[in-house]
Structure 1
Amino acid sequence: MTATTPRPDTSVELRAPYSPARAWAAERLFRLAARRLPVRVRLPGGEVLGRGGPDAPTMTVRRPEFFHRLGVRANIGFGEAYMAGDWTSPDPAAVLTPFAARMARLVPRPLQVLRRFVDAARPAAERNTPEGARANIHRHYNLSNDLFAAFLDESMTYSSAWFRPGDDLHAAQLRKIDGILDYAGVRAGSRVLEIGTGWGALAIRAARRGAHVTTLTISTEQRDLALAQVAEAGVADRVDVRLCDYRDATGRYDAVVSVEMIEAVGEEFWPAYFATLDRLVEPAGRVALQAITLPHDRMLATLRSHNWIHEYVFPGGMLLSVPAIEQQVSAHTGLAITARRSLGEHYARTLRCWRDRFLAADVAAIGFDETFRRLWEFYLAYSEAGFASGYLDVWQLRMARAR
């Protein structure tokens, strides 16, 4: 397992922009937000902001470049500042959680109309056309299988786990997979289509139930490792791993499952994705999805925005809200949502496990530098804060043909 794709360009974060006017405005907005939060923010001159006591989460702004980045690049600049060491924290997720919980109110409402002048626009090159989707996936999943193995559990499952008392991460990941397979009614003899292979854990688990699985990925590195995992598990006769875009899938299946792949589809292609689910499932079959969501008003507010996650981690990514999923199902399928469960609090715990494991790993030995390490630390902490605050959620959804 080796890295076969160029590292993301992190040189931009080392070149701090210089804009005194924007830095001045950003500092005042930041001060206004920080003063109301249960945190402690230490500024370069020694001033401390926030309502937090001595044990509150602490953020240290080490250099004034922080405000220049924030003023010029907003959300993207905030993340770049962490990558560059302009601000630090012993626990960035704990600092970010109260910010995430008040996301819609951090900027005073009269100033929110200026958002379109600050937020970066989504690059046209990141549209999730078949070619664009392959390029976007390549930039994330083809970084290195070794990188993901450094922090995932032994099943190489890269989605929210489902914990019960006494579970370690691996047991919780298997419970999550079983939950999706149960929703889809997967049993011995079932013909299953999985959209989004990951590294093969769900396909292997389904095959061990006696199902016959076709699983689709557009990542070459994921396919290669999934093939090896399937063979090692002794289920190669029941699992077909295909390098195939979901739009090109054919056939009919008793169960169609997809775990945290819809986030890579993009608004433009949501109708095609849901229509594909409808086309591929047998009339008496079931569809089971696991999807990361955000509140509907935030989805609408950020639909055209390009943020730090898009810039450095998930190009082309876009989250739906539960109402948006419901609308897409109603408009583009003959299916109905028949069951659902939220695992948002479990995702916060999953991400904490991943971050602890990532920070304990020697990523330099894999070929990744300190800037990249801080990039991924921030990504995992940023995501954990989203789920811990309730700003983000993740749902398992079961669908069946509407009667």
Structure 2
Amino acid sequence: MIDTLNEETKDDLLVRGYSRRHLMGIAAVFGAGLAATAGRPAWASGGKPDAAPSAKFRIGANECWTGPLAPGQAAAAAMIPYGNRYSPRDERGDFIKAVSKVEGVPEDHVAPWPGSSDPLSRSVVTFTSPTRGLVTADPTFELAGRTAEWLGVPVKRVPLKADYTHDVKAMLAADPNAGLYYICTPNNPTGTVTPVADIEWLVANKPAGSLVLIDEAYTHFAGVPTCSFMATAGKDVIVMRTFSKIFGMAGMRLGYTMARPDILDKMMRYDGGMQSGALPLPTLVCGTASLTAAPLIAARRKEMQEARAMSIEHVKKRGLSVVPTDANMFMIEWKTVPAPKMLAAFRTQDVEIGRSWPIWPNTSRVTVGSMEDMKAFCGALDKVWT
């Protein structure tokens, strides 16, 4: 598997402090080990796929409660008869043009990917090493940390601030020489938005040669200012998006990164950007048509907000605390009851809620589903929380 890395890439990795033993792990990231399991690389979750939930109401995986937007579905269906062609027209180019127009970034600053797991792990490989580590928040989405630990890269996890946003000054202090700082905003699992000004501070004060990875997977649910302008401004950033959330395309695997061309080139050198180039045409055209459907995006966001408000109000009436959120998820603190116990209790009511994080063992993440989903959640809560 190590032969998938060319000699120039191997030399670069060795210079950065990786050993030849590490090269096998790095090759696995871009080889057979990247087989997706529940949206995550199998090696990143210990090779153990999650059990498929059997509950009727599935509000645990941060999936959208419905499928792709109507224009996307129509575009994907129209592409099926042309499945015999590698590319009837420049579908990849059309997608990049759409991103460029919507985000206001040059086309050469955009790279499409099959979801966000690949570019996230790829960023860790590209910009960290045994001598330049990774810094993340705690709690946050764990894939970056899992990838780093898989490769023997030091990881610093910094607790969120009292308002549940990233503590960027503490993150820099935790490792002033890190290779990569990971910011998820809105954050998974809290749904909180870190102010753009805080992220700009980190970008301005980070060490030379390091990158800030800004994961905006849930930004369309929040409807807040984004960081794409930093990529255009030539900053040392990677801004990452996915269609797995508000666009309802988790099973279709599509995302994109925005960064300077030289940054994208570095990320693609391990396998020639094969993951970026190998995207199913129905997925690409679905994404292109969906991305530009601004009124439908706003309507879906409003639908989520109404279901979320109803749910949180009900939870608070039961005397439970909820972390303030701007995304399609919220965190419930179960006082002294362990979160796994509540997960099991909801399953008895045919409702699958989300998991917990080690730093908050008595707090569960709940995904906001349809209004029907959330009414079922509230009914189940009344039965399991007495």
- Answer with 1 or 2: which has the greater Rg: 1
TM-score (norm 2): 0.32
Q: Which has the higher contact order (CA 8 A, sep 6+)?
A: 2
TM-score (norm 1): 0.31
